[in-house]
């Protein structure tokens, strides 16, 4: 069967209802997620449907490009506060990332530590389930506890439960200014301590990352000018004991580099993304024996580069957290599942949900257990 590219939700629903074999759901295809031959493209579902800057809400069809949304928001001085990463540099993919893909992968950047993840900003979804039925959940208001929260469930479900057709978000104003402090710290243990000190201060850090290759902790402070000046000055006192502190301004390119893991662009090897309790990071990092490491989220997120084919999960043993295989060749993918194996009772729930949402097993089979 050849690839399909519906342009309306109704068309999408009809296509799904008529599917005879599994498909790979593709937004912009920038995440290079593996799957069946036949692709169901969602990028034909285009357009921002509602944007109310005064209510901080935006509703868009799932195939709308992230750049279109970011441009519309920027025109009103607003943004997607969860800072979705751009995977193209890391994965060597091309194409336009879609907002549906961002939701499906719950893609969240450095601001996760302060503002929250993609799922925290997602207010509502419409999707087509495996029988071709259109389902809605949530809406476009900030507070909504009416029935179960399928909005969160769909975020990060990687297209395994349904095909998103529309998503609505809470957006936030862009800050007046951004200031970054760079702290020279020689090792991971001290870096995590410095980031913990910063994140446990009242001075509202919106990014806390560590690049061990450079020996830099990076701390970001955003807001109105006077407030940022004040908080940056206070923050220098908080972290001064850990190493020399330098103020480097907004450092937008550097934060984009942290977000997109620029350190591993064009460098050989598998890339893993490991989520841990921040203070566990030094020990886990040591066990990884990686060729390259980047720490974000105050140490809670470790990006690791290892030789192709490495069984990274076996190196960390009983990890309290999880490891996702983000970049690898097919040979590695054949033996290493992308997502961390779940304990039996949770795996049974996951399987049960998939069977309910997609009884014919059409969507991205093989992904997520």
Ligand X SMILES: Cc1cc2nc3c(=O)[nH]c(=O)nc-3n(C[C@H](O)[C@H](O)[C@H](O)COP(=O)(O)OP(=O)(O)OC[C@H]3O[C@@H](n4cnc5c(N)ncnc54)[C@H](O)[C@@H]3O)c2cc1C
Give DSSP secondary structure letters for 9-45.
Answer: HHHHHHHHHH--S-BEEESSSTT-----SSEEE-TTS
User: Least distance from C-beta 135 to another protein, angstroms?
Assistant: 5
User: Least distance from C-beta 6 to another protein, angstroms?
Assistant: 19
Q: Measured between alpha carbons, how far is 82 from 171 in angstroms, rounded to an integer?
A: 9
- Please state whether 308 falls in left (phi above 0), alpha (psi between -120 and 50) or beta: beta
Radius of gyration of the chain (CA): 21
* Binding track, positions 139-158, relative to another protein; x by CB under 8 A: xxxxxxxxxxxxxxx-xxx-
Q: Measured between alpha carbons, how far is 11 from 175 in angstroms, rounded to an integer?
A: 40
* Residue of 69, 87, 220, 301 interacting with ligand X (CB under 6 A): 87
Burial 146-172 (b: 16+ CB within 10 A, else e): eeeebbbbbbbbbbbbbbbbbbbbbbb
Q: Which DSSP letter does residue 233 get?
A: H
Helices and strands of the chain, counted as H and E runs: 13, 17
* Residue of 13, 22, 23, 29 interacting with ligand X (CB under 6 A): 29
The nearer residue to another protein, 44 or 321, going by C-beta atoms, is 321
Nearest by Cα to 368 from 157, 106, 182, 176: 157
313 binds another protein (CB under 8 A): no
The nearer residue to another protein, 65 or 325, going by C-beta atoms, is 325
Number of amino acids touching ligand X (CB under 6 A) = 31
Tell which positions 185-224 bind another protein, by CB under 8 A.
193, 196, 199-202, 224
Tell which positions 49-108 bind another protein, by CB under 8 A.
52-57, 77, 106, 108
317 binds another protein (CB under 8 A): no
297 binds another protein (CB under 8 A): yes
* Residue of 78, 178, 310, 364 interacting with ligand X (CB under 6 A): 364
Q: Residue 212's beta-bridge partner residues? A: none
80 binds ligand X (CB under 6 A): no
* Binding track, positions 99-128, relative to ligand X; x by CB under 6 A: -xxx-xx-x---------------------
Interface residues toward ligand X, by CB under 6 A: 25-33, 42, 62, 85, 87, 91, 97-98, 100-102, 104-105, 107, 158-159, 163-164, 273, 324, 326, 338, 364
């Amino acid at each position: 069967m050849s690839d399909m590219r519906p342009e309306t939700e109704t068309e999408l629903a009809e296509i799904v209802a008529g599917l005879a074999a599994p498909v790979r759901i593709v937004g912009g295809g920038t995440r290079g997620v593996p799957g069946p031959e036949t692709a169901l493209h969602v990028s034909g579902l285009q357009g921002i449907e509602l944007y109310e800057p005064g209510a901080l809400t935006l509703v868009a069809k799932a195939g709308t490009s992230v750049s279109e949304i970011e441009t519309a928001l920027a025109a009103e001085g607003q943004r997607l506060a969860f800072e979705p990463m751009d995977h193209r540099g890391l994965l060597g993919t091309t194409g336009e990332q879609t907002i549906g893909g961002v939701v499906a992968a719950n893609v969240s950047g450095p601001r996760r530590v302060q503002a929250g993840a993609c799922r925290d900003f997602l207010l509502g979804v419409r999707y087509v389930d495996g029988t071709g039925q259109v389902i809605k959940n949530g809406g476009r208001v900030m507070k909504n506890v009416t029935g179960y929260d399928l909005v969160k469930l769909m975020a990060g479900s990687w297209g395994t439960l349904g095909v998103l057709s529309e998503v609505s978000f809470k957006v936030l104003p862009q800050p007046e200014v951004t200031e970054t402090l760079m702290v020279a710290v020689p090792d991971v243990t001290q870096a995590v301590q410095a980031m913990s000190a910063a994140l446990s201060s009242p001075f509202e850090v919106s990014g806390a990352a560590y690049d061990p290759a450079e020996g830099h902790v990076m701390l970001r402070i955003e807001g109105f000018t006077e407030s940022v000046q004040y908080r940056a000055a206070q923050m220098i006192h908080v972290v001064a004991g850990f190493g020399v502190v330098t103020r480097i301004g907004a450092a937008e390119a550097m934060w984009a580099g942290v977000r997109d893991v620029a350190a591993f662009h064009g460098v050989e090897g598998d890339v893993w993304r490991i989520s841990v309790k921040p203070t566990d990071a030094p020990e886990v990092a040591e066990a990884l024996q990686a060729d390259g490491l980047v720490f974000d989220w105050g140490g809670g997120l470790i990006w690791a580069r290892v030789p192709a084919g490495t069984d990274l999960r076996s190196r960390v043993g009983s990890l309290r957290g999880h490891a996702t295989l983000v970049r690898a060749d097919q040979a590695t993918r054949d033996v290493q599942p992308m997502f961390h194996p779940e304990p039996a009772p949770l795996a049974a729930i996951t399987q049960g949900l998939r069977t309910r949402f997609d009884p014919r097993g059409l969507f991205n089979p093989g992904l997520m257990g």
